[in-house]
Amino acid sequence: MTQGRLSVLAFGAHPDDLEFQIGGTLARYAQMGARVTMAVVTNGDVGSSTLPMEEIAEVRRQEALAAANLIGADLIWIGYHDEFFFHNEESRRRLIDVMRQAEPDVVFCHWTDDYHPDHSLSGQAVRDARIMTAVPNIVTEHSPLSRIPELFFYDTLAGINFSPEVYVDISDTFPIKKDMLACHVSQNQWIRDIFQADLTDLMEVQTRFRGLQAGKRHAEGFRALETWPRAADFSKLPLG
Ligand SMILES: [Zn+2]
């Protein structure tokens, strides 16, 4: 933990997931003076109809960096191949080490039943690595945490299979969120190519719908971890 300054770490499976689902909340944390770290689990290397894997991965890293820079967040580029993240000993150790590197008070990850296997499996892997971040006998590059961080799950794509229990009002930071997502030019193109959908439009509809549920203009929805030891300290969220 950073003394006196809240530290927030969000894991996204792909470059653009964090901007889409939690960009407004991360922008609020940044405005509060929190240390914000965005960790991207895969490198997005299949996200192009035209560029080879290494080239599109580098494009996507630059886009993620530009988005993180908009709110002064640190970017941790973990670098697994897109579509091929698996939850195993190696990946668990890697995610433990990323959490130790960022020293978070609060961690965010995908819900464990989202539409994409990289989303669901990385959500499970982050959830399951959380407690071990504070276990000294599990040795990784960075030092063990002094305290197990809080953990919250963020929304799924289109909100399917996800019922939020708490909402963050992002009405004020929605324009920043939109700008962050717009940094992902190549992903916007890819979503048009493969799904015939507009990424910004999807995000705006979902953010407005969660806002409707929350009685706000724009909102993002979250769930706490329900397993023991329960991570449900809502005071760690930028509420109110
Ligand atoms: Zn994704």
**For the chain, what is the radius of gyration of the CA atoms?**
17
235 falls within a domain: no
21-73 confidence digits (pLDDT tens):
999 999 999 999 999 999 999 999 998 889 999 999 999 999 999 999 999 99
pTM, two decimal places: 0.96
Structural domain count, the chain: 1
What are the tokens at 114? 């989202």
Burial category of 109 from C-beta neighbours within 10 Å (exposed 0-12, middle 13-18, buried 19 and up): buried
Q: Does a structural domain hold residue 233?
A: no
φ and ψ at residue 158, rounded to 5 degrees: 70, 10
Three-class SS of residue 13?
coil
Report every protein residue that has its C-beta within 5 angstroms of ion ligand 1: 13-14, 17
What spacing in Å lies between the alpha carbon of 152 and ligand 1's midpoint?
A: 17
Looking at residue 34, its pLDDT comes to: 98
Q: Is residue 17 part of a domain?
A: yes
Instruction: Pick out the chain residues at pLDDT < 70.
Output: 1-3
The reported pLDDT for the residue numbered 240 is: 73
User: Which pLDDT score is estimated for 4?
Assistant: 81
Range of the domain at 35: 7-227
Instruction: Read off the amino acid at residue 11.
Output: F
On whether residue 236 sits in a domain, the answer given is: no
C-alpha of residue 100 to centroid of ligand 1, in Å: 23
User: Ligand 1 centroid to 16 CA: how many Å?
Assistant: 7
- Cα 99 to ligand 1 centroid, rounded to whole Å: 20
**CATH number, domain with residue 195:** 3.40.50.10320
Q: Is residue 11 part of a domain?
A: yes
Query: 27 in a domain, yes or no?
Result: yes
- Separation of CA 86 and ligand 1 centre (Å): 14
Q: What is the pLDDT of residue 1?
A: 46
